[in-house]
Amino acid sequence: MYRIGIDLGGINIAVGLVTEDCQLVVKKSVPTLSKGRKATDVAKLMCETALSLIKDADLTEDDIISIGIGIPGAVDKQNGKVIRVANLRLDGFDLASFIKKYTKIPIILDNDANCAALAEAVAGAGKGRKLALTVTLGTGIGGGMVFNRRVYSGFNFAAGEVGHMVTHVGGRKCGCGRRGCFERYASATAIIHDAKVAVRKHPESKILELSGGDIQKISGRKVFQARDLGDEVAAAVVDNYIKELGEGLINLINIAAPEVLILGGGISNQGEKLLKPLRKYVYDRCYGTNLIPMTEITCATLGNDAGIIGAALLHN
C-alpha cells in the first residue's frame, strides 16, 4: 500500500508516491499558476496530478491509503477546510470535500511547515524520537512539534508559529503586526538585513566582494563564506545571528524539552559551521545545563522532499 503526499506552493505543486515505510518512490511537479486562478482550479489540478501519478505507477485508487496535502497557511484539519493562505485564492475553501468529488481516497490537510516537521520527525533527523521540534529558517521562521508521530496543532490548529514569539519587546516591526518577533532577528531575511547594515558601514567587507559589489545580492551563504575567509565584519554578523537564533531556541527548549530540535531552511545548509557555535551558546544557557540531559540540536536531512513525505504521513 502507498500514500500520496502533495506539497502546495505558490509556484509549484509537488506530488509524490510514498511507501508505508516512508520512502518516496516517484514524484512530479506542475506549475500552480495561481495568479487569478480560482480555488476550484487549483484543487482540480492537485487532484488530476495525484491521480495521474497513481496511474503512471500502474496502481489503482485501492492501492492508496490516503492523500495528504500540505497547505502554506492555516487549515481546519478536522473538517478539511483551508482557513487562510496568503498567496493563493483558497481562503475558506472546503478543499477536502471538493476533491472527494473526484476520488474515494481519504483526504487530509495540514500546514506545510507541520508536514515538513512530521517528515523529519518520523523519517529524517528525528527518526526514533518521541518528541521532535523542527524550526525552519527561511524568509520567516516556521515551526512544528511532533509527538509520537503526530503533529501537535493546538485546539485551533495554529500551534507551531514559533517565529512570532517576541524576543525583543518593542523591536523591529513584523509582518504579523507585532514588534520584536523572533523571525525578525533569526531568519534568513534577518541575517541578510544585518549584513546589509554592516556593509553600508564597512564597504571593504568581503561580504560585498563575494556579492559582486551588489548589496542586493547578499545572501546568508555569502555572509558565512566571508566569515570563513577571515572577514571581521562578517564574523560579527554571524556571531550576532547565532546569539539571536540561540536565544529563541533556548526559549523553545526550556518550554518543550524536545529530544531533538531540528533546523531546516537554507541557513541550515551551513551544517556544523552553524551548529558548533550554536550548540555551545544554547547549552551554556539552557535551564539545567550540566545537570539534566540536553536536547540534541541537528539539521534537517530530507531537503525539499520533506513537504511531500510529511503530507503523505498525515493521518486523522
Q: What is the pLDDT along the chain (316 residues), one digit of tens a residue?
A: 999 999 998 889 999 999 999 999 999 999 987 556 788 999 999 999 999 999 999 999 999 999 999 998 889 988 999 998 877 888 999 999 999 999 999 999 999 989 999 999 999 999 999 999 999 998 899 899 999 999 998 888 888 899 999 999 999 999 889 999 999 999 999 999 999 999 999 999 999 999 999 999 999 999 999 999 999 999 999 999 999 999 999 999 999 999 999 999 999 999 999 999 999 999 999 998 888 899 999 999 999 899 999 999 998 7
Distances (CA, A) of 279 to 72, 98, 272, 285, 306: 30, 46, 10, 10, 24
d(CA 254, CA 239): 22
C-alpha grid cell for residue 158? 495554529
Question: Collapsing DSSP states into helix, strand and coil, what is residue 303?
Answer: helix
Asked whether the beta carbons of 4 and 312 are under 8 A apart, the reply is yes
| Identity of residue 224 | F
Chain region(s) in the chain for CATH 3.30.420.40? 2-122+305-313, 126-300
Q: Which residue has the cell 487530509?
A: 108
Q: What number of other Cβ atoms are within 10 A of residue 216's Cβ? A: 8
**Scanning the structure block, which residue is given the C-alpha cell 575567509?**
229
CA separation for the pair 278, 220 (Å, rounded): 16
Look at the block and give the residue holding cell 514559533.
162
Q: What is the pLDDT of residue 36?
A: 62
Q: How far is the C-alpha of 233 from the C-alpha of 199, rounded, in Å? A: 8
Beta bridge partners of 152: 145
- CA-to-CA dists, residue 223 to 189, 208, 229, 292, angstroms: 12, 9, 10, 35
Which grid cell is 268?
A: 541550515
CATH, domain range 2-122+305-313: 3.30.420.40
pTM: 0.90
Residues 12 and 30: beta-carbon distance below 8 Å: yes
Residue 156, pLDDT score: 85
Q: Which residues of 130-160 are buried (b: 16+ CB within 10 A; e: fewer)?
A: ebbbbbbbbbbbbbbbbeeeebbbeeebebb
CATH no., domain 126-300: 3.30.420.40
